[in-house]
Structures are given as C-alpha cells and as structure tokens.
Amino acid sequence: MTKIDLIVDVSFVASLHERGKPETGIGRVITQVLSRLVSNQALDVSLVGCFGGDSEPIETSRKTQRWASQSLEHSARFCPVRPRPMGRRSWLYSWQGKLRERLNNASPGKKSPVQRIVQSIEYRILGLINRLTSFELDRLDSSNQSVYLATYWPPPQWLPQSLPRVIILYDVYPIMFPEVCDPVLTSMMKILFRSLNAKRDSVVCISEFTKDEFCKLTKFPQKRVFVAPLAADPQFVPTDDAQRIEAARKRYGIDSFPFLLVVANPQPRKNIKVAIEAFYKIAGDALHNDLRLVIAGNANAGWGDDDLPSQIATRPEFADRVCRIGPVSEADLPIIYSAALAFLFPSTYEGFGLPVLEAMQCGTPVICSNTTSLPEVVGDAAILFDPQSPAELVEAIRTLINDVATGQRLSVAGRARTREFTWNRTAAQVVKAIELAADVE
C-alpha cells in the first residue's frame, strides 16, 4: 500500500513551549492527534514549523525543530524551511538576515523618538523583504501523494498550489465576534479561509456546531468537512486521596470548605461574571455560608475581562470567599476537579468545551451553558442553563447542592458520557479528511 506523505505544522505547540507557557487545550489536541498520526502505518509523517502570515519563517522553523528534537517522544522527521533560489534577487536574503539580526540584538529599554522611528522603518523594510522572498520545504520532493495538515495557523502562502491541505478548525469565534477578539486571530482566520480550495482541501471541525457555523460562513461543501470530537486525557480521573487533595488545596490557597469551580482563562465569552453574580446570590443563604467559589485560569493568557476584580469587590461581605488561584498545573488539575462540589462552565461560545469533559471524567457534577457546542458534548450528563441568566444558574446550583442524589447521578452519568469520547476516534476522523484530500487529482 502506498503511503501518504503527511506534512504536519506543529509551530503552535512549539511556540507555547518557547515562551514558557503551559500547553493549552489546543496544544493537547495537537500532541494527542500527532502521536496517533505518527503511529498510523498508512502515513509517512514529517513535521514542519511554518504558517501563513509569518514574518520570520526561517526562525520559526528553527525554533520548532529545536522543540521537536527535545520534546517529542516519537521519531517523526523534521522538514526545515529553506529559502527558494532567487537568482538575481538572492542578495535580499543577506539583507534579510542582517536586518533581522540587528533588530533581534537591539538593546531593550526606553528609546528616543528618532530611535523608535528608525526601528519602525526597519521593521517595515523587513516585512517588505519577507514578502519579496520565497521559501520551500525540503520534504516536497517525494513521489508519493503529499498532504499538508494545518493544526492551528493557516498554511504558508508559498506552498505549491497543487498541494492539498487539511485544516483543523476549533471554532469561528474570531470571525463571528471580531470586536471582542484579538485582531491577530481574526486576521489569521481570514487568511485561513481565503487559502481554502473546495476541490482540493478538506476541513476537520471539533464539533457539529463548529462545522455548521463554518459551512454557513464559507459555503464550503459539507461532504469535505469532518467532525472529530475531542477527548479528555487519561490523567483526568477521580481522586479521593485525602492527603493529595489537602496538599493541592494548600498549594493553591483553597481552604477546607466546599467550593464551586470555574476553570477558564478570563475573556468575555467565558462569562465568569455570571458565575460570580450567581455565587453572590447563594453566598447569603444560611445553608451555604461556608461555600466558596474558586476561579482557576491564567489571567495573562486572557483578555477583555479586566473588570473581574472590581466585580468581586462589589460584595465585600462575600469577596473573601471568591478565590482566584491562577493557572493550575496539569498534574494538579484532576485533583482540583475532584475536590470541587460542582464545576461551573457559563461560557457563551465554545467550539467544543474540553473542560466540561475533563470535569465529568473526574466524576465532578457539571453545570454548563445550553449554547453552541456544549449540549452535544454533555448530552444528558449535566445541568444546562441559559448563560445570560444568572437566575437560572442560581437555580441549577441550588438544585445540585441541596440534593445529594442529583450530584451522585450526574457524577455517574458524566463518567459514562466521557467514555464515548476517545483520542483514537478524534485521530480517525482526521485520517479520513487526509485520505479525502490525498485523492484529489
């Protein structure tokens, strides 16, 4: 059987590690799917570090190669990016290298107005040179059918037009709500959509909801769009070890009282303010005067929710019962899930909603929004509510904490539900999209 040469961009995951950031949900998706693609006997996998809109493709390739050689356990080859021969314009590469080195070595700190103007001009010149130069991948000389897999960022514009692409799409939020989204993400998604060819490419979406939204926006043929639901990692299991739970509580400053848990990097769509508002309505109940609200998430990785501290301060009599613990390590997250009385997920927009699956797999009862992809993820194993209605969330929380049987039922149902989601199933759908793209003439 002839193998398919699969070229996989892993620059997104590499960039997280380069900047010392924890692997995000998307990062986990990429590494889990990649390990299964590498072990697939029908695929010959090469890794690359390149994407559309990158101003420094050579540097990105080098950083990605360094990460791959140090961090990946499997032995997939790395395919470096190299400058394409340009004949008389080859002197541009020399200028490009010297200018990039000058900018990289520029001393930090305050600069005079003239220095800032000069540096701005140099960056503009570098951008112009980058657009004039061109690149290629060493791997694109195989006699087998090649397919390029974009795991997050859009494919580079300089790829051969004949090369089929498979795109993994997590949501279309940057297009739907550009006013509350990072402009870079919106721009990148526009580049991604413009790069698609309905006769050549295929797309993988992580939920039926995301597939529907994408097809409505782009008119891309549904038969070339595959749905690959995600899965929670095996490490997310119930923890009843009292010593481990106590140690984790101490590490994150969580006292011994029962708590509701929110896990989200703060941004408008995560709707953390509704969880706080609902908690304050319950905090005054005589039966729940020891209840806490724990909010986990990396504030530096979010945006647009700078008013959370002021919202917490609106009820000073309860504010000390709201605990923002920052990012939680991968090792500790299952313990924190397991220790929680319930997991709240009031998000207004999700492409999938991996945290609810992680919480359910830990046996934690889940209360989540009834919007976007979340109902198809949780099924009947969670309490659903309108994320625009704090009153509905209050009712859901009271139902759960006042009725032990409800919590037990949701715990059992949640764990059963998660068994329907596996990374093997996710990867199998990605392989189907790859095989379809490889058959394009």
Give me the half-sphere count of Cα atoms (radius 13 Å) on the Cβ side of residue 347: 23
| Confidence (pLDDT) at 280 | 95
Indicate the pLDDT class of residue 127, thresholds 50, 70 and 90.
low
The model's pLDDT over 178-220, given as tens digits with 9 standing for 90+, comes to 888 878 888 889 989 999 999 999 999 999 999 999 999 999 9
Given a cut of 80, is residue 108 above it in pLDDT?
Answer: no
The candidate with the shortest Cα–Cα distance to 167, out of 145, 194, 137, is: 194
Task: Name the strands in the sheet holding 322-326, side by side, starting at the edge strand that comes first in the sequence.
Answer: 322-326, 292-296, 259-263, 342-345, 366-369, 383-385
CA-based end-to-end distance of the chain: 18
Q: What is the pTM of this model?
A: 0.87
Indicate the pLDDT class of residue 441, thresholds 50, 70 and 90.
very low
The model's pLDDT over 20-47, given as tens digits with 9 standing for 90+, comes to 776 778 999 999 999 999 999 999 999 9
Q: How far apart are CA 254 and CA 325, in angstroms?
A: 8
Q: What would the two tokens of residue 68 be?
A: 């791959």
Q: What three-state secondary structure class fits 323?
A: strand
Q: What three-state secondary structure class fits 154?
A: coil
Residue 182 identity (one-letter amino acid)? D
Indicate the pLDDT class of residue 440, thresholds 50, 70 and 90.
very low
Indicate the pLDDT class of residue 301, thresholds 50, 70 and 90.
low
The candidate with the shortest Cα–Cα distance to 436, out of 150, 208, 139, 198, is: 198
Q: What is the dihedral of CA 269, 358, 236, 11, to 10 degrees?
A: -50
User: Each residue of 132-170: b (16+ CB within 10 Å) or e?
Assistant: ebbbbbebbeeeebbbbbbbbbbbbeebeeebbbbbbbb
Question: Is the Cα torsion angle 279, 280, 285, 286 positive or negative in sign?
Answer: positive
Name the E strands within 264-338.
Answer: 292-296, 322-326
Nearest-5° Cα angle at 415, 412 to 417: 105
Given a cut of 80, is residue 116 above it in pLDDT?
Answer: no
**What phi and psi values does residue 295 have, to the nearest 5 degrees?**
-115, 115
| Confidence (pLDDT) at 239 | 94
Sequence length of the chain is 441
The model's pLDDT over 357-399, given as tens digits with 9 standing for 90+, comes to 999 999 999 999 999 999 999 999 999 999 999 999 999 999 9
- Written as one string, the DSSP assignment of 2-38 is PPEEEEEE-HHHHHHHHTTPPP-HHHHHHHHHHHHHH
Q: Is 108 exposed, middle or buried (0-12, 13-18, 19+ CB in 10 A)?
A: exposed
The candidate with the shortest Cα–Cα distance to 279, out of 236, 320, 322, 338, is: 322
Q: What three-state secondary structure class fits 301?
A: helix
Q: How far apart are CA 440 and CA 164, in angstroms?
A: 7
The candidate with the shortest Cα–Cα distance to 347, out of 397, 383, 385, is: 385
Which residue in this structure is represented by tokens 């090469």?
Answer: 46
